Amino acid sequence: MIGFIVRRLGQAVVVTLGVVTITFLLLHALPGSLARDIIGNRATPQAVAAFNHEYGLDRPLWYQYWLFLDKLLHGNLGYSFVANRSVDSLVASELPRDLILGGLSLVFSLAIAVPVGIAQAVKRNGLIDYTGTGVSFLLYSMPQYAVALILIQLLAITFHVFPAEAPQSAGTLAMLEHPAGLVLPVASLTLVTFAAFSRYMRSSAIDALAQDYMRTARAKGLPEHQVLRKHLLRNSLIAVITLVGLSIPYIITGTLIIEQVFNFPGLGLEYFTATLRDDYPVMLGVTVLVGMITVVGNLIADVGYALLDPRIRY
Amino acid sequence: MITTIPDEVPSSTPEGGEVYSTGSAWRVLLRTFAKNRLAVFGIIVIVSVIIFSFIGPLLYHTNQFDPNLTSVNLAPGAGHPIGTDSSGFDILGRMMVGGRSSIEVGLGVGVISTVFGLIYGAVSGFFGKATDVIMMRFVDIGLAIPVVFLFIFMSQVYKPSLTLLIVLLAAVSWQVPARLVRGETLTLRTREFVQAVRTMGGRSGRIILRHIIPNTIGTIVVTVTFQVANAILTLAVLQYLGFGLPPTTPTWGSMLSNGTTYLQDGYWWEVYPALAIIVLTVVAFNFIGDALQDSFDVRLQER
């Protein structure tokens, strides 16, 4: 088991390094010069040279790569010249709000997907199953923003129930003081995430239903609701670990899109602003960060699954 | 499902029962597929969308190049069956022209990424050991790079054409088929027929091309359809966000992006027709993929 975890950790390190390297090389494949972008087209060659020297841009590529890695190891994601602040401080102020949006949506979508998936598996090919499959198919086939657009049309424009814009408060906690504004973004992301979870939960519950321990539980005379709760639900929850770990990139992409639709202040929206201002350090830093979170998610999924399911031993 | 013996056995039946022809494997497959109503619906939708996008503009002439500012945001009516957008473009005509790029990108990315992933996965799984470990780490890296983030970054820098967009999207989508095919290859390479070819002196290239790859056909066909659906969705998301093809190119995603601005004004025709056709096309591909998955699943086939 320890051997497996160590090997899996080693893989994660290699993959992270790969993601960082590719993103770094992409940044350096950019046409134009950073110095010209920052200090302007009319800067003298001396000023450009001084700028390049100050930020190490006149050094060989391998050395710059080394510097970049070194900074990254010390938790420094880079510095935005356009916003004149470090990417770290940007992440620190924006990430908590993403966690609210992503976290709440994750919890809600699991709270829907797990019972629905189990109900679908138990009443297979029944009305619940067909409805659930239909809804998840439809949601899954929509671009992520479409769910948000439909909710806005219904609940914000046609019936003025909830505002179409997220709360614009500066702080994270201040945002929670306007729960009405959070409803539509969270609901949209919940539906988008549910679409990804639903089919998986259904098939993992169907697999669990076919297991011998289910027959044993029934054979020893457990009432059906206890069979479902103690044996089916618990075993299906193992699948949730994998699901959550693997769907992290999907949720982050969803967050990016939902933030754009609702003007929800968060890292996704900052990424957006950065692209419009050609703020490459922010784009690079966020991309690397998301890549690392993805790797960690995969790691948690694999190791968590192995730890929770005693049948899996490496 | 298992028994093929009919209720009434004719008297002329030889002892031991009549042998009924079940047709070739492909016909069994086709029959299972055709029984699935959703899949047939999917095929009909896709054929219709292709006719709509590629033949439609030949029959229904509209100008999608020069904005017509005398007829902006017109509601559906005479001359414009589903109205015009904020630049005066006829929406029905724009949906037709916009469908081309979606279909081309979808099919292009689906085929390229699956073929590449197929070869990559087969080679990785077949050679195994260090080759496999190294090749699969590249797949992991590809999967860990956030696609939409990367794409926005790339399209900011390169202003992609349709071809470049297909290549870029394929470059971030081949990893899933590669993983699937690699997994199948791992079991296929231990099978007797592969060992037989080896004993007869067949080279690795021949084994992979003639014996491994044809046996993964089920996975491949299913993967292509899901890849097409995903590519169309990703394109729609990128266009909506304002990245990808230049905004002047008519695409479903950019139509939605423009139309959303006028959602508050009640110009529903600028949003929902384009949205409906995206969802319909993607649902159709997903239905087909799902049905194919069942068709290739021997346990579900009717023989």
> Could you report the per-residue pLDDT of B194-211, keeping only the tens digit for each?
888 888 888 888 888 888
- At B29, list the tokens: 């497959």
- At B162, list the tokens: 């349709």
Instruction: Determine whether B255 is exposed, middle or buried from the number of CB atoms within 10 Å of its CB (0-12, 13-18, 19+).
Output: buried
* CB atoms A138 and B233 under 8 Å: no
Q: How far is B264 from chain A (nearest CA, A)?
A: 7
Neighbouring C-beta atoms of residue A126, cutoff 10 Å: 12
Alpha helices in B91-212 (DSSP H): 91-127, 129-144, 147-158, 162-171, 175-188, 192-199, 204-206
Distances (CA, A) of A304 to A1, B32, B156, B212: 12, 39, 38, 33
Q: Are B252 and B236 in contact (CB under 8 A)?
A: yes
* CB atoms A15 and B264 under 8 Å: no
Q: Give the separation between CA A313 and CA A182, rounded to whole angstroms.
A: 43
- At B99, list the tokens: 């469908």
Search chain A and give the residue with CA nearest B140. A15
Range scoring the smallest mean pLDDT among A108-117, A252-261, B130-139, B145-154 = B145-154
- At residue A314, the 3 state secondary structure works out as coil
pLDDT for position B186: 84
Q: What would the mean pLDDT of B240-253 be, rounded to a whole number?
A: 77
A294 vs B146, B275, B287: nearest CB? B146
Instruction: pLDDT band for A30, please (50, 70, 90 cuts).
Output: low
pLDDT for position A12: 87
In the predicted model, is pLDDT for residue B223 greater than 60? yes
Residues of B in contact with A141 (CB under 8 A): 229, 233, 279, 282-283, 286
pLDDT for position B112: 93
In the predicted model, is pLDDT for residue B8 greater than 60? no
Q: Nearest to residue B303, comparing CAs of B21, B16, B62? A: B21
The set of residues, in sequence order, having a beta carbon less than 8 Å from that of B245 and lying 6+ positions away, is: B101, B160, B161, B162, B165, B239, B251, B254
pLDDT for position B9: 46
Q: Give the separation between CA A168 and CA A184, rounded to whole angstroms.
A: 14
pLDDT tens digits along A57-100: 777 778 888 888 888 888 787 777 777 788 888 888 888 888 88
pLDDT tens digits along B23-82: 667 777 777 777 777 788 888 888 988 888 888 777 777 777 777 777 666 667 766 777
A287 vs B149, B268, B279: nearest CB? B149
pLDDT for position A33: 64
Q: Nearest to residue B148, comparing CAs of B249, B238, B13, B232? A: B238
Neighbouring C-beta atoms of residue B90, cutoff 10 Å: 24
- What is the overall mean pLDDT for chain B? 78
B141 vs A15, A138, A157: nearest CB? A15
* CB atoms A287 and B141 under 8 Å: no
In the predicted model, is pLDDT for residue B6 greater than 50? no
* CB atoms B278 and A140 under 8 Å: no
- What is the overall mean pLDDT for chain A? 81
Neighbouring C-beta atoms of residue A48, cutoff 10 Å: 19
* CB atoms B146 and A22 under 8 Å: no
Q: Give the separation between CA A194 and CA A300, rounded to whole angstroms.
A: 20
Q: Which of A8, A9, A14, A15 to mutate to test the interface with B (most CBs of B within 10 A)?
A: A15
* CB atoms B241 and A287 under 8 Å: no
pLDDT for position A21: 87
More confident residue, A297 or A55: A297
More confident residue, A284 or B20: A284
Q: Are B273 and B95 in contact (CB under 8 A)?
A: yes
Instruction: pLDDT band for A34, please (50, 70, 90 cuts).
Output: low
* CB atoms B141 and A294 under 8 Å: no
Q: What would the mean pLDDT of A181-189 be, rounded to a whole number?
A: 84
Distances (CA, A) of B293 to A164, A275, B188, B290: 40, 40, 19, 5
In the predicted model, is pLDDT for residue B4 greater than 60? no
Q: Nearest to residue B235, comparing CAs of A152, A143, A154? A: A143
Q: How many residues does chain B have?
A: 303
Residues of B in contact with A252 (CB under 8 A): 146
Search chain A and give the residue with CA nearest B290. A137
Query: In which residue are the tokens 């601005």 written?
Result: B261
- At residue A78, the 3 state secondary structure works out as coil
* CB atoms A146 and B146 under 8 Å: no
Q: How far is A232 from chain B (nearest CA, A)?
A: 24
In the predicted model, is pLDDT for residue A32 greater than 80? no
Alpha helices in A123-233 (DSSP H): 127-140, 144-151, 172-176, 179-209, 212-219, 224-226
Q: Nearest to residue A205, comparing CAs of A132, A116, A304, A135? A: A116
How much is the ipTM here? 0.78
Residues of A in contact with B46 (CB under 8 A): none
Q: Give the separation between CA B97 and CA B24, rounded to whole angstroms.
A: 40
Search chain B and give the residue with CA nearest A274. B153
In the predicted model, is pLDDT for residue A106 greater than 50? yes
pLDDT for position A299: 85
The DSSP element (H or E) to which A86 belongs, if any, is strand A85-86
pLDDT for position B120: 92
* CB atoms A149 and B264 under 8 Å: no
In the predicted model, is pLDDT for residue B181 greater than 90? no
Give Dmax (Cα) for chain B: 83
